[in-house]
Structure 1
Amino acid sequence: MSITASGPPAHSDEPHSGGIAQRLNWLRAGVLGANDGIVSVAAVVVGVASATSSTGPILTAGLAALVGGAVSMALGEYVSVSSQSDSERALIAKERQELHEMPEQELEELAGIYRSRGLSEATARQVAVELTERDALAAHLSAELNIDQNDVVSPWHAAAASAAAFTIGAILPMLAILLPPAAWRIPVTFVAVIVALAITGAVSAHIGGSSRLRATVRVVIGGALALAATYGIGAMLGASGIV
């Protein structure tokens, strides 16, 4: 009986394809953006709605929070990921230059890395030579820096995902506060936000492979506290006659 091996076994719960860094970064930015959009805009509109029942101020405040938050999220992600990608590209350029100027020293360095990981002198040398012959730059980036030159994260992808997700998340509290009758606006918004946060918490935990219950409880409690705080402030301002 013969067994044909087509490659190493793949596990369904482990990423084996390329572009993992960019996809995870996109998902992370999207989930965080949606969560922030839900909480921040809901807090603003609930605070205003607790001070006044007029639709105009609620709509104005909600739209301002939506636009400002989306731009802020996109800019923050772009700056953060740009710094990361610039650092990775600088490291790639430095490694490429070192391989060009001192290939023998770099080969010895690569063999030393594998020796430090437990391989024998001969095996480490053989692995270093074979990897260098195949793709020297990729071998050094992987062993020394844990970088894939074809998988450098894109700041534009992260920024776009964050802004879009923030906007999508913000639409929910806007609809929840504007569509129901005035007497039901705040209760409906509270319920809608709690449910939405539970969903984003579960999705975030699934992406990160952590406990769904813990992540869900964490974001739900945080969102509820934010809504309660802004509701209390708005109610006090409304009762005082300041607004």
Structure 2
Amino acid sequence: MRHSEHHRTHRTGWLRAAVLGANDGIVSTASLLLGVAAAGASTSTIVVAGVAGLVSGAMSMAAGEYVSVSTQADTERADLARESKELAANPHQEHAELKSIYVKRGLDESLATSVATQLMNHDALSAHARDELGISDTLAARPVQAAFASAATFAAGAAFPLLIVLMLPSAALMWGLAGSSLVFLALLGLLAARAGGAPVFPSVLRVTFWGALAMGLTATVGALIGVAV
């Protein structure tokens, strides 16, 4: 029988990192550029600040994702090692534990016992990892994948506000940069929702609202500093 359902759970690892990277790239770079522009800096200074923000931000995202997801991976490995020792030392107790999980999920005792026995005979560690610890191949931590996805999408997101700065005249820079960045964020929310199979409107609203707030606050601070200096 042909499987007609299309699930997207396998995308959560890289999709989360990619959306986070692109969103941060657009918001942080656009906010930085608006803050520097509001302080009265020249176009060349704004571009230098933007390029520096792009490079440092991409590297920071890659390092942060790698470290945080590696910590998750280390925890998963430690749990699996502990579970492996428990299976070797006390298989009957582990069998009873797995059976009780299936009973709580709705199976009767005899069926739960049979399922636990067959799964443990097939691959006891995988059965306990999946059903007791919640660890599976689909959702397993992948530090390198997360790091590359975050860095690449941050750089891509940061490139859009930089291009706008190069294209717009100084007189239209502030409003043009803010408006175009909100459009980019709305498109990001749309793409993220479509890729994850989620409702579009909440995703678009979420990214544009927080992006607008970040850019507005940064521009205000930049203007105040420019006046003070």
2:150 paired with 1:162: yes
Identify the residue that residue 19 of structure 2 maps to in structure 1. Answer: 31
Residue deviations 1:91-125 (CA, integer Å, cap 9, x gap): 11111222222222222222222223332222121
Larger RCO (CA under 8 A, 6+ residues apart): 2
CA contact (8 A) 1:92 1:149 kept: no
Query: After the TM superposition, which segments of 4 or more aligned residues of structure 1 sit over 6 Å from their partners?
Result: none
Residues 39 and 226, structure 1, Cα contact 8 Å, conserved in 2: yes
Residue 188 of structure 1 pairs with residue 170 of structure 2 = no
Equivalent position to 1:11, from 5, 24, 49: 5
Sort the Cα spacing of 1:95 and 1:10 in 2 relative to 1 into closer, same or farther, 3 A. Answer: farther
The Cα of 1:156 is off from its aligned counterpart by 1.2
Counterpart pick for 1:43 among 20, 31, 34? 31
Q: Could you tell me which residue of structure 2 aligns to residue 230 of structure 1?
A: 218
State which of 96, 114, 118 in structure 2 corresponds to 1:108.
96
The structural deviation recorded for 1:239 is 4.2
1:119 aligns with 2:107: yes
Give percent identity, aligned residues only.
45
- Mapped to 2, the partners of 1:146 and 1:231 lie a distance apart of 44
Pairwise CA RMSD of aligned residues? Answer: 2.2
SS at match of 2:136: coil
Give the Cα separation in 1 of the matches to 2:190 and 2:138. 31
Q: Using structure 2 for the length normalisation, give the TM-score.
A: 0.89
1:207: Cα distance to partner? 4.2
Under a length normalisation based on structure 1, what TM-score does the superposition of the two structures give? 0.84
Q: Max radius of gyration: which structure?
A: 1
Which AA in structure 2 matches 1:32?
A: L
Supply the distance in 2 between the matched residues of 1:151 and 1:234 (Cα, whole angstroms). 42
Using the alignment, how far apart are the partners of 2:116 and 2:145 within structure 1?
35
Name the CA distance, whole Å, in 1 between partners of 2:103 and 2:204: 44
Distance 2:48 2:67 in 1: 28
Kindly indicate whether residue 89 of structure 2 is the aligned counterpart of residue 95 of structure 1.
no
Which protein has the bigger helix share? 2
The corresponding residue for 1:175 is 163
Q: 2:185 aligns with which of 190, 194, 197?
A: 197
Aligned to 2:42: 54
Q: In 1, Cα distance between the equivalents of 2:170 and 2:145?
A: 39
Q: Distance in 2 between matches of 1:221 and 1:131?
A: 48
Given the alignment, which residue of 63, 70, 85 partners 2:58?
70
When structure 1 is superposed on structure 2, of 63-72 and 80-89 the one drifting more is 63-72
Gaps of 5+ in 1: 1-5
- Matched length: 229
> Take 1:53 and 1:124, find their aligned partners in 2: how far apart are those partners?
69
Give deviations 1:48-102, integer Å, cap 9, x for gaps.
1223352221122112211221122222211211111111111111112222222
* Residue 162 of structure 1: how far off its partner (Å): 0.6
Q: CA deviation at 1:135?
A: 1.4
Alpha-carbon distance change, 98 to 27 in structure 1, aligned in 2, over 3 angstroms: same
Could you list the runs of 5+ residues in structure 2 that have no partner in the other structure? none
CA 1:124–1:235: 2 relative to 1, 3 Å: closer
Give CA deviations for 1:177-213 in whole Å, capped at 9, x if unaligned: 1222222222321222011000112223334544321
Distance 1:105 1:61 in 2: 61
Comparing 217-226 and 25-34, the one that deviates more:
217-226
Residue 75 of structure 1 aligns with an amino acid whose one-letter code is A
Q: 1:188 to 1:127 in 2, by over 3 A?
A: same
1:84 alignment partner in structure 2 = 72
Deviation, 1:10, is 4.4
